[in-house]
Amino acid sequence: MLASMGAPINTYGRKVTSERPSTPLHGLDLTVPGDVSSAAFLIVAAAITPDSRITINGVGINPTRIGIIDTLCEMGAQIAFKNERDAGGEPVADIEVSYSTLLGVTVGGEQIVTMIDELPVLAVAATQAEGRTVVRDAHELRVKETDRIATTVSELRKLGARIEPTADGFIIDGPTPLTGAPTEGHGDHRLAMAMTVAGLVSSGQTMVYGAEVTGDSFPGFEVTLQALGAQLQVAE
């Protein structure tokens, strides 16, 4: 963004240098791109719900932030970037997602850094994938809003998922038909959204208690799902 305003900034791999500008920075009209971390829940929902096809407009696709998309594509998800463009120095695109058959994968190393906040919803996708999915090197999940390894495992097990915790991640075998059950958000917005997505592909009714925390990062999450056709009600 600063470069778009005239700042002399250069990037060399992971090194960024800047100099004092010779002229004042100029203003610009900027549309803030959609957050790919929030879009990830809609992407997974479409990828695992039969007959689904959605387009999410204006999402930031910085390569350092789209690990969840790269991983889903590796699993076989039908995801395409359309109308790619630049917004204030950041790459932006409309994201098209269609339902597809997924395969299990192993995720670890530097890839984890690009998708740490999306791992709970990746776990949901993995329950519907053929074969084994292994997530490792994700120690940071232990110190998020909750211990996301423990809570992701415990809540998905309530729906019948075959998921085992490890010290730095989890192992999931699929595909598994999920069955609706009462679940908890544990005060964690991303876990609550992940369990809501899991409920979309579960037979029967799934209740996510404490789901109001989804507004911490995605105000209108439930309304957006309803607009896409999800059979979802917000309990008073």
**Domain-wise residue ranges, the chain:** 31-216
Res 55: pLDDT:
98
Res 19: pLDDT:
75
Q: What is the second-level CATH architecture of the domain 31-216?
A: Alpha-beta prism (3.65)
Res 9: pLDDT:
76
What tokens appear for 50 in the block? 């039969």
Which three-class secondary structure state does DSSP give residue 48? helix
Q: CA separation (Å) from 51 to 46, 58, 102, 112?
A: 8, 23, 14, 30
Report whether 10 contacts 16 (CB < 8 A).
yes
Q: How many residues does the chain have?
A: 236
pLDDT by 10-residue block (mean), the chain, 236 residues: 73 77 75 92 98 97 96 98 90 98 98 97 99 98 93 99 98 98 97 98 97 95 96 86
Using the structure block, give the residue that is written with the tokens 């900034």: 9
Indicate which residues carry an active-site annotation. 117
Half-sphere exposure of 81 (CA within 13 A, CB side): 16
Res 20: pLDDT:
76
Cα–Cα distance, 116 to 10 (Å, whole number): 27
Cα–Cα distance, 141 to 218 (Å, whole number): 20
Task: Enter the pTM of the model.
Answer: 0.91
Res 21: pLDDT:
72
Helices 189-200 and 148-158 pack at an angle, to 10 degrees, of: 20
Which three-class secondary structure state does DSSP give residue 73? helix
From 35, 10, 45, 29, select the one nearest 226 (Cα to Cα): 45
Res 191: pLDDT:
98
Q: CA separation (Å) from 104 to 45, 134, 201?
A: 17, 8, 18
Res 181: pLDDT:
98
Cα–Cα distance, 188 to 130 (Å, whole number): 28
